[in-house]
Chains A and B, each alone.
Chain A
Amino acid sequence: MDVNRSPLPSKVEAFFLGMAGLACFVAIWVAVSISGLVPRQFLPTPWEVALRTFNLLWEPFAGASLPVHLARSFERFASGFTLAAAVGVPLGLLMGWFRWLDDMITPVFDGLRFISPIAWVPFAALWFGTGLGGPILIIFSGAFPPCLINAYRGARFVDRTYIEAAQMLGTGNLRTIVQVLLPASFPAIVAGLRIGAGLGWQSLVGAELIVASAGVGYMMVQGQSNISTRTVMAGMIAIGVVGLVIDVALRQLEAFVRRRRGLR
């Protein structure tokens, strides 16, 4: 496929281009920070943020050190996301195959889907508290729609010829879903899981910003009210790194799936 696009830069060239891009970004940041265009307190230099992040690894802030806050957040994330994927993907596939189920669930789902996950925070707090149950509901409502939509769209846009071939050979409903729709829409599903994981993780952070007594989000709110931009940025980095680890893991899965399919 590469041949058809603009010339593919060599590995070395791509590496230097990337480095140049990063250098530009950091240079602008440092320039703005050092020149005093923005007060240092509100835009610390990259190394000040790095130092703060490093210190937070041991030094407790808002009741715990950074790794402890992260562990609390991740535990909630893992439970909510697993639940969302376990319900969303099968439901999406079923809806892509059975028209009546699609007709039944779509209106309800459409109604609920437009309520942003964060809007569930008040009910989540009221129903399940702010410990584990409430946040799980919020992560679920964030991660569920992409899981479902991608599985559904994947199943609906499967090449008709596969389905026709399967049906001609007398394949039943369940086998068609598991052996035709599921594999054919797998790239879409994994992409959905990736988006879902991202949204779930960010919904969690949002929930922690609003109601929590621990977790990275809570640490950042405390940093904000102490006008410690460094702490806020350290929190952003920590959230970003964990999010990235989750994303890379799912990206590996996606690449693996595509390779097995012979798609690039």
Chain B
Amino acid sequence: MHISRRLAIGTATIVTLLVLWPVLTLVTGTIDTGRFPSPIQFWQSLRQIVTVGYADGTLWQHAIQSLKLVVMGFVVAVSFGIPLGLLMGWSRRAEAFINPVFLLIRPIPPLAWIPLAILWLGLGDAAKIMVIFFAAFVPAVINTFTGIRMIEPHIIEAARMLGTGRSRLVMEVLVPGAAPMIFTGLRLSLQASWTTLVAAELVGAITGLGRVLNVAQTDIYPAMVLVGMIAVGVLGWATTRVLVSIELRLMPWLSVRA
């Protein structure tokens, strides 16, 4: 009942926007097509990049390149970030030891690592993975840490009173208790990964969606800019869907939306 209503309202909104787009660009001319493309221009650019290619590659090649780097950077960052967050959330000593260094590095926005990454590793894949690592690492740590600290004390007290050992306490109380926060962190990490990758590719790359945007911007080609943005959006959406389906499978009691 509710699902259908939700679907209906959502579809109606999207359809309205899709109808307004050609009307405003082609019929009334309210939107200047030199600034924002009409659906026809968009379709032509999409065909161009899919069939002929643009910025030294087809859409497929650019997309695969970007996706590959995001996944690699994200996985590396998360597999360091979550354990560190758990450790810092649980042990006050570990927090006291690590936090100052973390505080020192954390305020530097991931994108600010781009010039340094280029100096150190050049314009290739390694520099991008380094930048994505710094982007995805911080949200993973912070949210895991916060998740642990937000667990209600009496849950831990109860587990302790029942004589739960350390490893069981971590795996069966702390991790599940912090899981909603951890996943919030992972989503932010994933989003940050895309942001940083696109920025790094805009600054310099041989293939990748950021490069498409960069070339399109230089060519003053709004339709291709839109194609590039939508491609980034679709990939970001698809990766998040995967993450959410994992979240729902692990925590069926939460009805979280993507």
Contacts and interface: CB of A to CB of B under 8 A. Distances in A.
A116 B236 contact: yes
A53 interface: no
A21 B101 contact: yes
Interface string B100-113: 11001001111111
A202 B109 contact: yes
B5 A103 contact: yes
A123 B222 contact: yes
Contact residues of A: prevailing secondary structure:
helix
B47 interface: no
B249 interface: no
B100 A21 contact: yes
A110 B114 contact: no
B233 A126 contact: no
Contacts of A235: 112, 115
B171 interface: no
Contact of A114 (B111, B225, B233): B233
A116 B35 contact: no
Contact of B217 (A7, A104, A121, A220): A121
B182 interface: no
Contact of B13 (A42, A104, A114, A220): A104
Interface in A81-118: 99-100, 103-108, 110-118
A224 B119 CA distance: 6
A8 B92 contact: yes
Contacts of B228: 119, 122
Contacts of B191: 113-114, 116, 145
A4 B119 contact: no
A105 B160 CA distance: 45
A225 B54 CA distance: 27
Contacts of A1: 149, 153
A255 interface: no
B118 interface: yes
A209 B195 CA distance: 13
B198 A114 contact: no
B201 to A, nearest CB: 9
Contacts of B2: 99
Contact of B232 (A115, A127, A142): A115
A185 interface: no
Nearest to A238: B112
A22 B199 contact: no
Given A21-B97, A203-B195, A206-B199, A115 B109 contact: no
A6 B220 contact: no
A19 to B, nearest CB: 8
A230 to B, nearest CB: 11
Interface in A1-53: 1-2, 4-9, 13-15, 17-22, 24-25, 42
Interface of A: 1-2, 4-9, 13-15, 17-22, 24-25, 42, 99-100, 103-108, 110-123, 125-127, 142, 145-146, 153, 191, 195, 198-199, 201-203, 205-206, 209-210, 217, 220-221, 223-224, 227, 229, 232-233, 235-237, 239-241, 243-244, 247
Please name the 3 residue pairs, one residue from A and one from B, whose CB atoms are nearest each other, closest first: A202-B109, A114-B236, A122-B217
13 contacts: A4-B157, A9-B93, A18-B100, A19-B100, A118-B195, A126-B220, A126-B222, A195-B139, A199-B192, A209-B203, A210-B203, A223-B115, A239-B112
